[in-house]
Amino acid sequence: MRSVGRRLCALGALVAALALALYVPRAGSPLPECPPELDCRFVPAAYAQTDPADPDTYGNYDVADRPADGNDIRYIVVHNTEVNYDRAIELFRNPRKGAAAHYLVRSSDGQVTQFIPTKDVAFHAGNYWFNTHSIGVEHEGLLAEGDRWYTDAMYRASARLVRYLAARYHIPLDREHILGHDELPGLTGKRTAGMHYDPGPYWDWARYFQLLGAPLPATPATRGTPSVLTIAPSFPANSPPLSACAGNNCADQPDQGSNAVPLRAAPADDAPLVGDTLLHPDGAPGTDKLSDWSARAVAGQSFAVARRHGEWTGIWFGGRLTWLRDPRSQVSVMGDPSGPLLTPRPGRATIPVYGAAAPEAGAYPEGVPAGAITPLGYTIPAGQVYLGVRRVRSSDYHARFAADQNPDGNRRVAGDRELWQISFNHRRVFVDAADVTVASPGSGPRGWAPPGWAPAGWAPPAIRLAGPPPARPDV
């Protein structure tokens, strides 16, 4: 049985050899769901039980009837394979892998192969709640060699596909709904620490959103009180130090355009990189390893501004004050928030964060086991502010293997609990709506001043509580 209490890995960096139990496709494969101008085909992923004694052991997806069954499709998740196109197809056709995406895009020419109908729940995100609400799009290539694998043909075909899917399922074309696999949390803290980090720092989000017809913010707000910073480096010119490691052997990455901006614990070039408390529970700083996403903000992510200090801007990131150096707005732009700025409700010293919008235990009908609501282990202290992007009503989906591919035996659980999706650190998380209130930036200086406008030590106006968030969820 699958639910938010269970997890399956996506393909991601899986390259371990497994005996390939070839899946025999059913007759009459469906037509691909693609815009007509794409070179697109359908090759069915494996859907088979892999332990004859255990009907709950199977791959590589769950049959469903999205969105008619109540499981709305609200995210596209961008992946890369770490193996070549043909090998990825083999893996998705092997039920023992337990993972497959809906689509795969070829590097050389942008050919698209669909494996799983979009109505079904592919095991691609490493987080079953996100699987339930997303479509997974894999891209052939190695993330450490993004400039070689992420080709113009690939970006164009993928963007055309995502535009088609977004229009069909009413998915907003923004960086809170078109997400990298590396931007998703796990369902627990331990799983979050092990989550994949594809498509990585060399995926050109700015170019991708240009092709989607929804360019990322590139110019500062010209009026109002800029209270939110959006990461916006020039991709070709941005090449922060990064290293690739095999065991203890690490080598500097060659220069190539990057979406990533490093974050430090203090406003100084020699200050340590911020360490993520799940990746570095001993309190060690972050590193420049490709696999260490502790201190890496990504193009298109938005955070509340907390301080200015000379050429440095302080943002709330991962439950702490974190600094990025941006002397001439080269790597970020400030503007007005696209949603409410949320802060812990008065009287709460800290609040927990979650990896899914899971229902309260009482929402589960008899016979359907409740998924545990487990905080991730991060906390948000009182006084910190995060951008709320979507108020979500909690839900879960309990599915079982159905040899006849009929989803009627599956159960969707809708809870009364509501949560906000927030931009938290490198990854998005959820906070309980009952734990937060809306923070207003207050009456700050009117109008936008050029970079360097703020005196050292400038802080935005004191947070003023503006009452509870809107009651109506947008799902």
List residues near Zn ion by CB under 5 A: 10, 12, 79, 181, 196, 198
Closest approach, Cβ 183 to Zn ion, in A, equals 11
For Zn ion, give the closer residue by CB, 260 or 373.
260
For Zn ion, give the closer residue by CB, 77 or 305.
77
**Would you say 195 and 184 are in contact if contact means Cβ atoms under 8 Å apart?**
yes
Separation between Cα atoms, residue 281 and residue 387, nearest integer Å: 26
For Zn ion, give the closer residue by CB, 198 or 204.
198
Closest approach, Cβ 385 to Zn ion, in A, equals 30
Contacts of 424 (CB under 8 A, 6+ apart): 317, 318, 319, 353, 378, 386
Distances (CA, A) of 199 to 97, 137, 153, 182, 191: 20, 11, 17, 7, 18
For Zn ion, give the closer residue by CB, 88 or 159.
88
Helices (H) and strands (E) in the chain, counts: 6, 27
For Zn ion, give the closer residue by CB, 176 or 198.
198
Closest approach, Cβ 141 to Zn ion, in A, equals 12
Closest approach, Cβ 13 to Zn ion, in A, equals 8
For Zn ion, give the closer residue by CB, 202 or 323.
202
Classified as helix, coil or strand, 323 is: strand
For Zn ion, give the closer residue by CB, 160 or 196.
196
Closest approach, Cβ 33 to Zn ion, in A, equals 20
Closest approach, Cβ 181 to Zn ion, in A, equals 3
- Strand ranges inside 192-257, DSSP E: 228-231, 243-246, 249-252
Torsion sign, CA atoms 176, 352, 399, 96? positive
Q: Can you tell me which residue has the tokens 């003023």?
A: 464
Distances (CA, A) of 10 to 24, 50, 422: 21, 17, 23
Cα within 13 Å of Cα(218), Cβ side: 10
Phi, psi (rounded to 5 degrees) for 189: -60, -45
Closest approach, Cβ 161 to Zn ion, in A, equals 16
Phi, psi (rounded to 5 degrees) for 69: -85, 5
For Zn ion, give the closer residue by CB, 146 or 388.
146
Closest approach, Cβ 10 to Zn ion, in A, equals 4
* Proportion of the chain in helix, strand, coil states, percent, rounded to 5: 15, 30, 60
Separation between Cα atoms, residue 22 and residue 330, nearest integer Å: 50
